[in-house]
């Protein structure tokens, strides 16, 4: 841990040594919520988000907060170790070309819906309003990457194996669930005149309410959908690698989500742990911490540190906002940085600077700041990157 702030209702435990003031203010708001439990943990990659900082871990009693999970519910990483020791640059280019043809990127969806059997099972019980309205549209989005910081990446492991990695989430389904229940929570707060300022963007849903239970059910469906989405893309990725290289050896996937709430036991109590851009890191539990498209990613093993609610960072974390990055970063400098490492990258135009290496924190420092949370198992260097 880098520092502990004790000026609020409960402490703030920080693993970041360069937390921006706005993110710290959001963490102070969390600490003063009526449902807040024990302390707030901010990971080494923490930065400002909507309501709660991204890279935050927050536990609640008898309540759930949609904005403490975020809009891309279930977003996470999937990594697969291959039987390849190396991939030639020409093969990398062929793999990237086929990925771009086979997997819809950005706002693109499939032209026909995916089979209903590929979708997660709809939970029994009362109708869930967002799932009912969005289910058919979600079938067109299953197996699609999305935009922002989502990516498909071919990597060289320090263990002398080539890896495949996918970063994606629940697409528009998660966004619709998050938006619907955050609005519902805001209306409920207004009716009950809760002592939570609207400007905090942290309206809560009591778990004794139908709304709270419905949110949990729809959130858990989004987590399952996000997993299925990554798995479908990974299967396509593996087929392309086989087609290009002849490799047919792939280990079982390692998959970790980093946007969700889960009922867990900490400090002697069962509480709802909200991880918004944070990875669970229980004792001996494997996780994935990706860097930017120009830096290393890591397979890590958790140490089960209770002060982080058994969590670690979910990535490098932004140092510049998207608009700020496009305005401040130099395109030629960022491209040269990637080219010098011979990475087949996705920085093609000025508008792509929001995902340039310079927009992110130093992943090496982020890893060093959480040595009490994880140990590194495998270091992964980028070879080729596809982004939305």
110 is catalytic: no
| CA dist., res. 54 & res. 317, Å (int) | 8
Helix, strand or coil, per DSSP, at residue 265: strand
Contact present, 255 and 227 (Cβ < 8 Å): yes
303 backbone dihedrals φ, ψ, rounded to 5°:
-105, -5
Which of these is catalytic: 161, 167, 314, 345? 314
Place of tokens 């980093």: 258
Residue 280, classified by CB atoms within 10 Å of its CB into exposed (0-12), middle (13-18) or buried (19+), is buried
Q: Write the DSSP string, 40-54.
A: EEEEEEEE--SSS-E
How distant is the alpha carbon of residue 339 from its chain centre?
27
Spatial CA neighbour of 345 closest among 174, 154, 80: 154
Q: Write the DSSP string, 275-305.
A: EESEEE--TT-EEEE---TTS-EEEEEE---
**β-pairing, 3-5 with 12-14?**
antiparallel
Distances (CA, A) of 15 to 50, 251, 311: 20, 33, 11
Query: What percent of the residues of the chain are helix, what percent strand, and what percent coil, each to the nearest 5?
Result: 35, 25, 35
| CA dist., res. 321 & res. 120, Å (int) | 34
Helix H or strand E encompassing 81: strand 76-81
Helix, strand or coil, per DSSP, at residue 319: coil
34 backbone dihedrals φ, ψ, rounded to 5°:
-65, -25
Enumerate the active-site residues.
314
């Amino acid at each position: 841990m880098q520092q502990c702030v004790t000026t609020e209702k409960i402490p703030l435990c920080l693993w970041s040594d360069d937390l921006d003031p706005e993110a710290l203010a959001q963490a102070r708001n969390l600490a003063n919520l009526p449902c807040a439990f024990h302390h707030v943990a901010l990971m080494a990659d923490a930065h400002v988000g909507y309501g709660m900082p991204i890279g935050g871990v927050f536990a609640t009693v008898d309540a759930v907060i949609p904005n403490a999970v975020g809009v891309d519910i279930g977003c996470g990483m999937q990594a697969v170790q291959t039987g390849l020791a190396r991939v030639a640059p020409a093969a990398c280019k062929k793999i990237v070309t086929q990925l771009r043809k086979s997997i819809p990127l950005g706002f693109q969806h499939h032209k026909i819906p995916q089979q209903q059997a590929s979708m997660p099972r709809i939970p029994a019980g009362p109708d869930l309003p967002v799932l009912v309205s969005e289910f058919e549209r979600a079938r067109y989005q299953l197996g699609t990457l999305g935009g922002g910081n989502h990516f498909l990446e071919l990597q060289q492991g320090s263990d002398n194996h080539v890896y495949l990695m996918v970063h994606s989430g629940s697409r528009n389904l998660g966004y619709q669930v998050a938006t619907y229940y955050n609005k519902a929570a805001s209306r409920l707060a207004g009716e009950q005149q809760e002592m939570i300022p609207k400007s905090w963007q942290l309206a809560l849903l009591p778990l004794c309410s139908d709304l709270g239970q419905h949110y949990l059910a729809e959130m858990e469906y989004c987590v399952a959908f996000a997993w299925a989405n990554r798995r479908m893309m990974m299967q396509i990725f593996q087929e392309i690698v086989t087609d290009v290289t002849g490799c047919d050896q792939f280990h079982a996937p390692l998959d970790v989500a980093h946007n969700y709430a889960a009922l867990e036991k900490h400090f002697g109590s069962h509480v709802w742990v909200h991880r918004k851009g944070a990875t669970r890191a229980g004792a001996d539990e494997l996780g994935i911490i990706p860097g930017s498209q120009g830096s290393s990613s890591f397979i890590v093993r958790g140490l089960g540190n209770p002060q982080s609610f058994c969590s670690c960072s979910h990535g490098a974390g932004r140092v510049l906002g998207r608009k700020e990055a496009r305005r401040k970063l130099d395109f030629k400098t960022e491209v040269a940085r990637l080219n010098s490492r011979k990475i087949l990258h996705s920085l093609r135009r000025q508008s792509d600077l929001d995902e340039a290496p310079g927009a992110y924190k130093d992943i090496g420092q982020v890893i060093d700041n959480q040595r009490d949370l994880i140990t590194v198992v495998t270091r992964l260097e980028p070879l080729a990157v596809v982004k939305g």
